[in-house]
Amino acid sequence: MSWTWFHRLGSPPYVFRLAQRLVPWFGWAAGLLIVAGLYDGLVLAPPDYQQGDGFRILYVHVPTAWLSLMVYVIMAVAAAVGLIWRMKVAHAVAASCAPVGASFTAAALATGMLWGRPMWGTYWEWDPRLTSELLLFFLYLGYMGLRSSFDDVQRADRASAVLAIVGVVNVPIIHFSVVWWNSLHQASSVLRLGGPTIATPMLVPLLIMALGFTLYFVAILLVRLSAEVLRRERASAWVKEALAS
């Protein structure tokens, strides 16, 4: 197997140019999918037989909650790659993930609270799912705080990578919390053994929104990564050429 692609991804100028080129594609695809998903989810999908139109909060709650977990996993994997292969670009990916992941976690918590109030009668409960998601939010904040406490980028990379990797144990805890414990939160109706239990006209807009939000995240990550690479490499010769274009 050829590893040239992996080595190329370790090259800051290559990554910078690639990211700059890919941003509009991901951005526009995400925008179109989210608009289509909104129309499908808010207008076309039928109301739920138990939750009426209130269930439509699902279309913003699930994509943000799913991304809050996925972004953390990407961050931890990137941090591990950076630590093991001493790859600067991987550390830059991890650093770029954190603020976006934190914002998705905040959105998942806020939309979940607004969904919980009419359905459970409370905005907040110290329930396993809610508490572990809140812990995820603090993990992101801790990661960002730890990074900003170092002046030296390489030391910030190494220290924060360890925190990111250790914190990843929280991800399966969040995902399986509704199975392991008696949670107020409803169980998963899409990612479960035996296939989805949600009706197709409700599932399709959810998948469109989830894909749209994922592509949106990639676009944001690529912009942040470009900025991070530029900041780290500003003393390098390739920067002059890259800025001219």
Partner 1 sequence: MTAFTHFLEMGGYARFLWPAYGVTFAIVFLNIYWARRLMAQARLEAKRRLIMREELALEETHA
104 binds partner 1 (CB under 8 A): yes
What is the total count of residues that contact partner 1 (CB under 8 A)?
37
206 binds partner 1 (CB under 8 A): no
Strands (E), the chain: none
195 three-class SS: coil
243 binds partner 1 (CB under 8 A): yes
Instruction: Determine contact, residues 129/105, Cβ cutoff 8 Å.
Output: no
Q: Tell me the sheet residues that pair with 48.
A: 52
Question: CA dist 76 to 71, 160, 161, 164, Å?
Answer: 9, 10, 7, 5
Binding span for partner 1 by CB under 8 A among 107-115, 143-151, 170-178, 183-191: 107-115
Distance between CA atoms of residues 234 and 240, nearest Å: 9
For tokens 């990137």, the residue is 78
Nearer to partner 1, 83 or 136 (CB): 136
122-161 positions binding partner 1, by CB under 8 A = none
Binding span for partner 1 by CB under 8 A among 85-93, 102-110, 138-146, 164-172: 102-110
166-195 positions binding partner 1, by CB under 8 A = none
18 binds partner 1 (CB under 8 A): no
Phi, psi dihedrals of residue 187, rounded to the nearest 5° = -75, 165
- 39-68 footprint of partner 1 as x/- string (CB under 8 A): ---xx---x----xxx-xx--xx--x----
3-state secondary structure 34-76: HHHHHHHHHHHCCCECCCEHHHHHHHHHHHHHHHHHHHHHHHH
52 three-class SS: strand
Written as six digits, the tokens of 68 are: 């809050």
Q: How far is the CB of 240 from partner 1 (least distance, A)?
A: 6
24 binds partner 1 (CB under 8 A): no
Residues that bind partner 1 (CB under 8 A): 42-43, 47, 52-54, 56-57, 60-61, 64, 99-100, 103-104, 106-107, 110-111, 114-115, 117-118, 216, 220, 223-224, 226-228, 230-231, 234-235, 239-240, 243
